[in-house]
Each structure stands twice: as C-alpha cells, then as structure tokens.
Amino acid sequence: MELNRMIDHTILKADASKEAVMQIIEEAKKYHFYSVCINPAWVALAKEQLQGEPVAVCTVIGFPLGANTSETKAFETTDAINNGADEVDMVINIGALKSKDDQKVQKDIEAVVEAAKDRALVKVIIETSLLDREEIIRACELAKAAGAD
C-alpha cells in the first residue's frame, strides 16, 4: 500500500482562509492523498474542486470540543453530507465519557452514525491526550457498539 493513500491532508484552524484550503486541495490532488479534512464551511468548495479526483472529502463534527448536543451533531452531519462530505470525523462527548455516562456517549455516536447512514463514513475522534487508559478502551468499545466505521 502506498503511504500517500493513507494520508488525510488536514487544515482545521479557525483562521483557515479559502486560499489555505485551496492549497491543501491542490496538494492532495498532486500527491494523490486519501482525503482532505477541512472545516464544514469548506466542504462544498472541496467537493467541487475534487470532482473526478480520487480524493475523499472529510470534515469534522462537534469539533473541537465534542460538547455539542447529539441533535446538533446529527444536523452538522446531515448538512456536511448534503454539501458533499464523504466522511465525517466526530468528536465524542469527552465530559460524558469522563463522567462514566457511557449510554450518553454511545447515543451521541449513534446519532451521527444514523445521520450518515449509507451516505458517509463515520470516524470517531476520542482525544486520547485527555483520557486515561481505561477511558480510551471504553471510548473505543462505545464507538464500535454505536456502529462507527
């Protein structure tokens, strides 16, 4: 497998300009990266620019804190897919995980999985730097149980 096809070329800074996003898109096309991962506001532009290219469009949901409601994350997911996202990377509700509210965490992931059903891949950002070993294991188990890709 080629390394370049494993790279999500990413720009998620709050101040990412159109020019910066276009640079990421052009680099992804040039080097045949797997995807570009951009803020939701740039999804339609990326989809248009990547038409016919073997580069997926990925965006983030509930980013960067994961503290949005499940309903908000589901809406963000639907909107992103309608704008052309092939994949969504959602941030789990870290506070709920740390509170051991596994049901809330799983339902949060399920809301995004359901919104993306059969239309986009769902990956889960678990923010391992904020979690201990047991929390990382639980987060992975909950993502799997919720049907994330």
pLDDT digits (tens, 9 = 90+) for 113-148: 999 999 999 999 999 999 999 999 999 999 999 999
pLDDT digits (tens, 9 = 90+) for 38-64: 999 999 999 999 999 999 999 999 999
In this structure, the number of other CB atoms found within 10 A of the CB of residue 33 comes to 24
pLDDT in tens, 17-33: 999 999 999 999 999 99
pTM of the model: 0.95
pLDDT at 103: 99
Report whether pLDDT(1) > 90. no
Mean pLDDT, all residues of the chain? 98
Is domain 3-146 annotated with CATH 3.20.20.70? yes
pLDDT at 29 (0 to 100): 98
pLDDT at residue 97, as a whole number = 98
- Output the pLDDT for position 93: 98
Could you state, in order of their start, the residue ranges of all structural domains in the chain? 3-146
pLDDT of residue 36: 99
Q: Could you tell me if 57 and 87 are in contact, meaning their C-beta atoms sit under 8 angstroms apart?
A: yes
pLDDT of residue 133: 98
Band of residue 86 on the pLDDT scale cut at 50, 70, 90: very high
DSSP 97-126: HHTT-HHHHHHHHHHHHHHHTTTSEEEEE-
- CA trace torsion 128, 134, 135, 136 (10° rounding): 40
- Using 50, 70 and 90 to split pLDDT, how confident is the model at 14? very high
Bridge partners, residue 90, by sequence: 61, 124
